Amino acid sequence: MTTEKPAAPGADRGYGDRVVAVEPGANEPVPDAERHGSPLQLFRTWSSPNLEFATIFVGVLSVQAFGLTFGQAVAAIVLGNGLAAVALGVLSARGPAHGVPQMVLGRLAFGYGGNALPAGLMTLTSGFGWFAVNSVSAAFALSSLTGGGPVGWLVAVVVVQVGVAYFGHNLVQAFERIAFPLLAIVLGIGACTVLGLSDPWAAPPPGGPGAVAGFLLTVGAVFGYAAGWTPYAADYTRYLPRTTSTRLTGLSAGAGLMVSSTVLMVAGAASVSAATAAGLDGDNPVGNYVGLFNEGFADVTLLAIALGAMSANVLNVYSGAMAFLSLGVDVPMRRARAVVALVFGVVGFAIAAYALDDAAAGYEAFLLVVVYWIGPWLGVVLTEQWLRRGRPVDPALFYDRDHRNHAGPIALLVGIVVSVGLFANQELFVGLVARDHPEVGDIAFAVGAVLSAGTYVLLGGRERV
């Protein structure tokens, strides 16, 4: 057995609960002496990054692009967020017991080498994709507020985001804790204002698929957005004491995601009719949303939008770096994670700068592309966890380079290829079933999850856990 040697997690770390200190090491287990915190903090950790305009925009899409009525949109939003919140809670609950990041936990289901597939996908979608989306959102919000160029603001927000992620876990948690009340108050008042100005009985704009297809597209987009956090789950619970309640850990994480995402997405859905009634019919969804407020509160909302985007991105950079290190790449330095976070910031800035010219294009497609692998991945890891329930895990297995579980990567690929090939329904690609029956919308994420789970069991996943 060849075992990857974690970077000396013991006495030389000296990290503990220090906030302004660079988290040492890479993705090794957190020793008991370094454990701290309460599961209740997870409500803030998973609320703050969703209190941003990207969340609101998913709600806008449900009505404006997918053709749902407000009531239909609310139902789809609650369903998609509910499924994602359950998944995040279940995965978060594993963190305190094992003390390792989520992508390292994934090695149980995928093996050491096979885990490179989901870890690589997460590196691309979180460390680069979501980082670019949110950085551009923050830059445009600050540009609209000040009248300055978006490029300068893009530099500023990237420096802040990468700086927080560079210091690591404790500063990330502190950033979310500080941002939470500011975001909750400003965006909460804004959401209530929008709901009061909206017409819940208004007909959706013409041109969307509507009915069943629109409902399933919305569920997929909502789930893709919210479940995009699930590969991060244990990253933010692994520092909790080993004796922490798993139930409270899962409930706190899931509730933070569910409440924040649902409130703002519902507000986004309501903003379509409110903007129409106010005569705001421009192509800029941010401008339409803040245009519903008086000038002073609109400015405060723009600041909150920028802060929310940065709250999301400190998690994206931090967990993206963790995913990269979980590929099995050797970065022989004591602060490997911090260095990788810096590199991600540079690359992410380049992608975001390129995207400034057409920031809104492809957002809908990006949400659905994310869910195309997240759904099957969840099918595998949740099935593995269910099969392993009650059985102890040898900690050395997480870092054993000889550990193989071919059922995991094969099941993931089967889920992705079959579900996308048959049921994907977006501008870039339409699956065979969706092409002949567009009324089914896009159910690739659900089909992929079920296929991957079943394939994992059939290929011997039960025997390997």
Query: Could you give the CA distance from residue 375 to residue 84 in angstroms, rounded to a whole number?
Result: 10
181, part of any domain? yes
Alpha carbons 227 and 126: distance in angstroms, whole number: 12
Domain membership flag for residue 404: no
Number of domains comprising the chain? 1
- 465/455 Cα distance (integer angstroms): 15
Query: Which of 328, 332, 409 is CA-nearest to residue 3?
Result: 328
Task: Please say whether the beta carbons of 227 and 90 come within 8 A.
Answer: no
Instruction: Determine the pLDDT at residue 319.
Output: 92
CA distance linking residue 173 with residue 239, whole number of Å: 11
In a domain, 88, yes or no: yes
Secondary structure string (H, E, C) spanning 14-60 = CCCCCCCCCCCCCCCCCCHHHCCCCCCHHHHHHHHHHCCHHHHHHHH
Residue 343, token pair as written in the block: 């590199």
**Is 146 a domain residue?**
yes
CATH of the domain at 246: 1.10.4160.10
Decide if 70 is inside a domain.
yes
Determine the Cα–Cα distance for residues 252 and 3; give it in Å rounded to an integer. 34
Q: What was the pLDDT predicted at 272?
A: 92
Number of CB atoms found within 10 A of residue 389's CB: 8
Instruction: For residue 452, count CB atoms less than 10 angstroms from its CB and return exposed for 0-12, middle for 13-18, buried for 19 or more.
Output: buried
Domain-embedded: residue 302: yes
Contacts (Cβ under 8 Å, ≥6 apart) of 69: 63, 201, 202, 203, 204
Phi, psi for residue 361 in degrees, rounded to 5: -65, 130
Look up residue 96 and give its two tokens.
């305190």
Count of alpha carbons within 13 angstroms of residue 449, beta-carbon side: 18
Cα(263)–Cα(341) distance, integer angstroms: 31
Give the burial class of 295: count Cβ atoms within 10 A of its Cβ; 0-12 exposed, 13-18 middle, 19 or more buried.
exposed
Could you give the CA distance from residue 428 to residue 437 in angstroms, rounded to a whole number? 17
Give CB contacts under 8 A, 24+ apart, made by 299-303: 299/145, 300/186, 301/186, 301/187, 301/190, 302/141, 302/142, 302/144, 302/145, 303/141, 303/142, 303/145, 303/186
Backbone angles phi, psi at 144, to 5 degrees: -65, -35
| Per-residue pLDDT of the chain in tens (465 residues, 90 and over written 9) | 555 555 444 334 578 888 888 888 778 899 999 999 999 999 999 999 999 988 999 999 899 888 899 999 999 999 999 999 999 999 999 999 999 999 999 999 999 999 999 999 998 888 777 888 888 888 888 888 888 888 888 889 999 998 998 899 999 999 999 999 999 999 999 999 999 999 998 888 776 666 788 898 899 889 988 998 999 999 999 999 999 999 999 999 999 999 999 999 999 999 999 998 888 876 677 888 999 999 999 999 999 999 999 999 999 989 988 898 888 776 655 566 777 888 877 877 777 776 666 555 455 556 556 778 999 999 999 999 999 887 888 888 888 889 889 999 999 999 999 999 998 877 778 888 888 887 777 788 889 999 999 999 999 765 555
Cβ(416)–Cβ(372) under 8 Å? yes
Q: By residue range, what is the domain housing residue 152?
A: 38-359
In a domain, 402, yes or no: no
Q: Cβ(260)–Cβ(35) under 8 Å?
A: no
Q: In this structure, is residue 412 part of a structural domain?
A: no
